[in-house]
């Protein structure tokens, strides 16, 4: 769209530029006569060719040559060229305008090649970055996710989330009412508080319980980090979540073992574990 607009402006300048040049040159007729008739037309040719390349430059050249012959060269207000020197001058002017147009077209092509190469390299870098990100997200043990800070909508979550929590819990991080329903009732107030902290751009680190559709309970550790935009405001929130159910079970087993040991020691006579 922008290229089409620039080309339209170039063709407009190819016609309007020579007209402006005529308006500048006519008041000088009493002083210059038909001497140096083409000088004022070169800027119009260069601007048209610079904006649009070869064809707008050629159009500006031909319009300028016709305007010179009609308005400036003697006999004026006629396209008849009676002077051989004027014929040679117009031919040289058209050749010069053509060369300017060709050089500007070469500049345009070089610029397009540079833009194309830069875009191609940028696309390759982007694809490589996306592939590395995908490989990282798929191979880390934790679930990696990103959500929008404005509406809490989930932007990305790594594929292993279903393996850890099951399909019923795939919306746990989107900040919606349904996500909170997956969290244990005793842990929901903390989840709401963490959501508010995340919106304020604060990092969070918490452990909470998730309730599956079958009533099973899993422990999860979730860490979040703010991602700030160019304006310095938090635009997205990234996080890592890990299933720590097994660790919690081991910790619970250790606590129960310690409690049984203490009860057993408390029930033994004092003489059994004191020195005489």
Range of the domain at 204: 140-266
Q: What is the pLDDT of residue 176?
A: 47
Domain stops at, among 86, 120, 154: 120
Determine the pLDDT at residue 118.
Answer: 93
Cβ(237)–Cβ(214) under 8 Å?
no
Same domain, 35 and 81: yes
* CA pseudo-torsion sign 116, 120, 126, 129: negative
Interval 242-259: pLDDT, tens: 888 888 888 888 888 888
81 and 161, same domain (yes or no) = no
Residues 175-201 have a mean pLDDT of 80
Alpha helices in 182-238 (DSSP H): 188-199
- Final residue before a domain boundary, out of 92, 120, 148: 120
Percent of the chain predicted with pLDDT > 70: 89
147 with 154: CB under 8 angstroms? yes
* Domain identity same for 147 and 113: no
Is residue 51 in some structural domain? yes
Q: What is the dihedral of CA 136, 194, 181, 183, to 10 degrees?
A: 70
Q: Is residue 130 part of a domain?
A: no
Helix, strand, coil: what percent of the chain each, to 5?
A: 65, 15, 20
Asked if residue 36 and residue 65 are part of one domain, the reply reads: yes
Residue 164 pLDDT class (50, 70, 90 cuts): low
Q: Are residues 153 and 219 in the same domain?
A: yes
Is 176 part of a structural domain of the chain? yes
Considering the domain boundaries, does residue 201 fall inside one? yes
From 16-20, 74-78, 133-137, 164-168, the region with the lowest mean pLDDT: 164-168
pLDDT above 90 coverage of the chain, percent: 30
- pTM for the predicted model, two decimal places: 0.55
Where does the pLDDT of residue 210 fall: very low under 50, low under 70, confident under 90, or very high at 90 and above? confident
149 and 115 housed in the same domain: no
CA 30, CA 19: separation in Å to the nearest integer? Answer: 19
Assess whether pLDDT exceeds 80 at residue 85.
yes
Structurally, the chain folds into a number of domains equal to 2
Specify the DSSP class assigned to residue 70: I
Q: Could you tell me the pLDDT band of residue 93, with boundaries at 50, 70 and 90?
A: very high
Q: How far apart are CA 12 and CA 59, in angstroms?
A: 10
The dihedral region occupied by 218, where left means phi > 0, alpha psi between -120 and 50, and beta the remainder, is beta
Q: Which of 36-50, 156-170, 225-239 has the highest mean predicted lDDT (pLDDT)?
A: 36-50
Co-location of 8 and 113 in the same domain: yes
Number of H helices, E strands in the chain: 9, 5
Which of 165-179, 190-204, 257-271 bottoms out in mean pLDDT, i.e. has the lowest?
165-179
Residues 148 and 65 in one domain: no
> Do both 145 and 173 map to the same domain?
yes
Element (H, E) at 20: helix 2-25
pLDDT tens for each residue of 114-123: 999 999 999 9
Q: Is residue 274 part of a domain?
A: no
Q: Which residues contact 170 (CB under 8 A, 6 or more apart)?
A: 157, 161, 162
Q: What is the pLDDT of residues 39-80, one digit of tens each?
A: 899 999 999 999 999 999 999 999 999 999 999 888 888 888
**Shared domain check, 172 and 261:** yes
């Amino acid at each position: 769209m922008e290229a089409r607009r620039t080309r339209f402006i170039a063709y407009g300048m190819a016609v309007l530029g020579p007209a402006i040049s005529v308006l500048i040159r006519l008041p000088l007729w009493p002083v210059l006569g038909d001497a140096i008739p083409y000088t004022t037309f070169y800027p119009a040719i260069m601007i048209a060719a610079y904006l649009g390349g070869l064809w707008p430059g050629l159009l500006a050249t031909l319009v300028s040559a016709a305007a010179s012959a009609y308005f400036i060269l003697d006999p004026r207000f006629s396209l008849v060229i009676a002077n051989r020197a004027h014929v040679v001058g117009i031919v040289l002017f058209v050749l010069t305008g053509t060369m300017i147009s060709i050089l500007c077209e070469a500049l345009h092509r070089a610029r397009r090649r540079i833009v194309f190469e830069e875009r191609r390299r940028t696309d390759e870098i982007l694809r490589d970055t996306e592939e590395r990100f995908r490989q990282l997200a798929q191979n880390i043990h934790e679930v990696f996710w990103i959500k929008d800070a404005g509406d809490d909508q989930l932007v990305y979550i790594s594929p292993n989330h279903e393996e850890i929590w099951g399909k019923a819990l795939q919306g746990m991080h989107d900040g919606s009412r349904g996500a909170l329903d997956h969290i244990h009732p005793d842990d929901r107030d903390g989840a709401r508080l963490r959501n508010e902290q995340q919106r304020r751009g604060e990092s969070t680190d918490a452990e909470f319980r998730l309730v599956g559709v079958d009533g099973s309970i899993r422990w999860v550790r979730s860490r979040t980090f703010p991602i700030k935009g160019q304006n310095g405001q938090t635009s997205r929130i990234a996080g890592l979540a890990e299933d720590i159910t097994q660790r919690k079970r081991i910790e619970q087993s250790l606590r129960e073992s310690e409690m049984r040991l203490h009860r057993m020691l408390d029930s033994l006579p004092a003489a059994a574990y004191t020195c005489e």
